[in-house]
Amino acid sequence: MCGIAGIFNFPGTDANSLEHSIRQMLAITRHRGPDETGVYLSDRFAMGSVRLSIIDLSTGQQPICDQSGNFWIVFNGEIFNYVELRDELISKGIVLHTHSDTEVVVQMYALYGPACLSRFNGQFAISIWDKQKRELFIARDRVGIRPVFYWRRDGGFAYCSEIKGLFTLPNVERAIRPKSLAQAFTLWTTLTPNTPFEGVLELPPAHYMKVNEKGVRIERYWSLGFPNESNIVARNLSDTVEEFRELFSDAVRIRLRADVPVGAYLSGGLDSSVTTAFIHELEPGILNTYSIGFKDSEFDETPYQQEASRYFNTNHTSYLCSSEEIAENFPQTVWHAEFPLLRTSPTPMYLLSKKVHESNIKVVVTGEGADEFMGGYNIFKEAMIRRFWAREPQSKLRPLLLQRLYPYLQSMKGMNSQALKLFFGYRLADTNDPLYSHLLRWHNTSRITSFFSGDLKSSVQDYNPVQDVYQMLPEGFEEWSGLSKSQFLEISIFMSSYLLSSQGDRMAMGNSVEGRYPFLDYRVMEFCNALPDKLKINGLDEKYLLKKMIAGKIPDSILNRPKQAYRAPIARSFFGAGSPDYVAEILSEASIHATGLFDPGRVEQLVGKMREGKNISEVDQMAIAGILSTQLLHEQFIKKPVIPDSDEILNCRVVREN
């Protein structure tokens, strides 16, 4: 795992300034790869990487070239089937000089061009320089596990694994993009390729780009698809369970490939218990597992984590997180996330990865993707219940089914049908709307845009991010089942741009830890997408096939426990007795006014409500997290940006083009 960066065709640059600039970009992302640094320098082009050594520790240094010496690569990620691809290359007479997956990638590109991407099973951001054509190739994995951001203007082009690397370049302006804030404060994240910053874009998942003197061309190489409702094939349950077991076992097996110890996250839920069970079966030696618990009992799952650890006899490290620690480390979380955050949930994940790093573990296997692809989220069942309710909107019994979805939310307890109708009844009858499953969530979240300042409201005017979602729906979307539509929205928007970024790559790599996700093996994703809905959600039983597959191999208490979303305290973190000074300072009237993004009076009222600690709704909680994180984002990246010294990069391997 690494961080990558590059600069192409910047006006007025020479070899010395290119090297200085690329070293600065690498220095500020050094947390992604503290083990080694490498740079490739050409006329008006430079690229480099900071490496976290996991495979081929001795000879896998980057940059690496193909057999001809024409193609040079820096690479962030892992190709888990590189062993099989390596054997294929050798059978074709290709001479390989390392045992790394990086050399396999560049040689596969030399042979097949962009078509090689369909052969890769992995998580990656790839950067390859073609000396002869003077052309840059950049590609990103199918669901965006690994990030890559870019900037272009006046023929100049730069890219980096993190936005902060781009901001070390003097040409790149630093400004918050108003429409991106409207997106984040409605959809929880920006819509690809947008980021929170003007002029900074991300390469969308499952896309590659080519950059040369003529400009930039972007192409899709894989699509997230589902079958038409009329074309879904019925399946025998026992045969499907066995097929899924073999497929998932192989996905776990190849993700254990590493020349360093591999650990696993063990949350106490179904998904992490499944991955741990398969690791235990494949490699029955002692496994290092890690979990995060909370001193606040409302959010804590420690008993289930301990039970799972005992069941699998793991070497377990449990970290109990306090609200005070969340508040103290929230600025560092925002620094690594580089996005507004409507939850504090990423912070405990950041602290957990720090514990993993302190244990000298570089790789952890986790359960992300199971909820999205196996129908595990409550939003999927919520949409099913609302559709059922919409058939008899006057029913007093049907809305009561919604209480079964959220037993962990205090606000849901004791709600009668009328109260549930007020909370869940938004556009209840619009069941034909393609975004039906998510309209309620986005409507509730968008209420926090009321805290925008007058200037910000004027700049976005009547812009509604939901309208942009309609424009991004793929061909044939209307013929998918309701569940498939819900899954597409959750995977392509929330999972890719929020979950895998703010709680995945960015929090783990902030502490030089690589996450690996067997449920996001492309074979597993395609298998799950082709399943009939009832094998994902049977009645209101989520992840039905997964539970059938793992029955008897994990504790029954975990197999049968109600779904509980991973959450962390918000108001109690920032407005408790031990609240750090920065909270009051950055939410002060003077600070809010100076930033110009939020209404000082509205924010003051919200802060007062938080301090009183009474009648704080979920929307209020999201609002304070979003305002605070955006203020921090402005402070860290606009007002006081960090520009590192290029001399921080020591022992850098430099390859100069002949």
pLDDT in tens, 125-143: 999 999 999 999 999 999 9
Mean local confidence (pLDDT), 465-482:
96
- pLDDT value at position 408? 64
Sheet strand arrangement including 45-51:
201-202, 149-153, 156-160, 2-8, 45-51, 36-42, 652-656
- pLDDT value at position 634? 97
Give 186 or 399, the one with higher predicted confidence: 186
Residues 6+ apart with CB under 8 A from 195: 149, 163, 177, 180, 201, 202, 338, 339
Q: How far apart are CA 637 and CA 176, in angstroms?
A: 9
In the chain, list all ranges with CATH 3.40.50.620.
232-373+518-559
Tell me what the pLDDT averaged over the chain comes to.
93
Look at 10-24, 41-55, 433-447 and tell me which has the smallest mean pLDDT.
Answer: 10-24
Residues 6+ apart with CB under 8 A from 17: none
Q: What is the pLDDT of residues 145-175, one digit of tens each?
A: 999 999 999 889 999 999 999 999 988 999 9
The yes-or-no verdict on residue 647 having pLDDT over 70 is no
**Taking a C-beta distance cutoff of 8 angstroms, is the pair 554, 399 a contact?**
no
- pLDDT value at position 100? 93
- pLDDT value at position 633? 97
Q: Which is the CATH superfamily of the domain at 2-222?
A: Aminohydrolase, N-terminal nucleophile (Ntn) domain (3.60.20.10)
- pLDDT value at position 563? 80
Task: Classify residue 35 as exposed, middle or buried by CB count within 10 Å of its CB (0-12, 13-18, 19+).
Answer: middle
- pLDDT value at position 286? 82
Look at 11-20, 40-49, 588-597 and tell me which has the smallest mean pLDDT.
Answer: 11-20
Return the CA Rg of the chain. Answer: 24
CATH class of the domain at 232-373+518-559: alpha beta
The overall longest dimension of the chain from CA atoms, in Å, is 77
Q: What is the pLDDT of residues 358-377, one digit of tens each?
A: 999 999 999 999 999 999 99
Q: What is the pTM of this model?
A: 0.95
Q: Tokens 């409702």 correspond to what residue?
A: 229
- pLDDT-based confidence at residue 259 (cuts at 50, 70, 90): confident
Q: How far apart are CA 103 and CA 86, in angstroms?
A: 9
Q: What is the pLDDT of residues 547-590, one digit of tens each?
A: 999 999 999 999 998 888 888 999 999 998 888 999 999 999 99
Which contacts (CB < 8 Å, 24+ apart) does range 209-213 have?
A: 209/137, 209/138, 209/139, 209/150, 210/135, 210/136, 210/137, 211/8, 211/135, 211/136, 211/137, 211/138, 211/157, 212/133, 212/134, 212/135, 212/136, 213/9, 213/134, 213/155
- pLDDT-based confidence at residue 411 (cuts at 50, 70, 90): low
Mean local confidence (pLDDT), 604-632:
94
Identify the CA nearest to 291 among candidates 370, 358, 366.
366
CA–CA–CA angle 501, 369, 28 (5° rounding): 20
Look at 10-14, 407-411, 522-526, 594-598 and tell me which has the smallest mean pLDDT.
Answer: 407-411
Look at 411-420, 581-590, 633-642 and tell me which has the smallest mean pLDDT.
Answer: 411-420
Give the helix, strand, coil percentages of the chain, each rounded to 5. Answer: 50, 15, 35
- pLDDT-based confidence at residue 307 (cuts at 50, 70, 90): very high
**Of all residues in the chain, what percent carry a pLDDT higher than 70?**
97
- pLDDT value at position 406? 78
The yes-or-no verdict on residue 409 having pLDDT over 70 is no
Report the b/e string of 277-316 with b at 16+ CB within 10 A: bbbbeeeeeebbbbbbbbebeebbbbebbbbbbebbebeb
Task: Classify residue 656 as exposed, middle or buried by CB count within 10 Å of its CB (0-12, 13-18, 19+).
Answer: exposed
- pLDDT value at position 646? 61
The yes-or-no verdict on residue 415 having pLDDT over 90 is no
- pLDDT-based confidence at residue 625 (cuts at 50, 70, 90): very high
In the chain, list all ranges with CATH 3.60.20.10.
2-222
- pLDDT value at position 55? 76
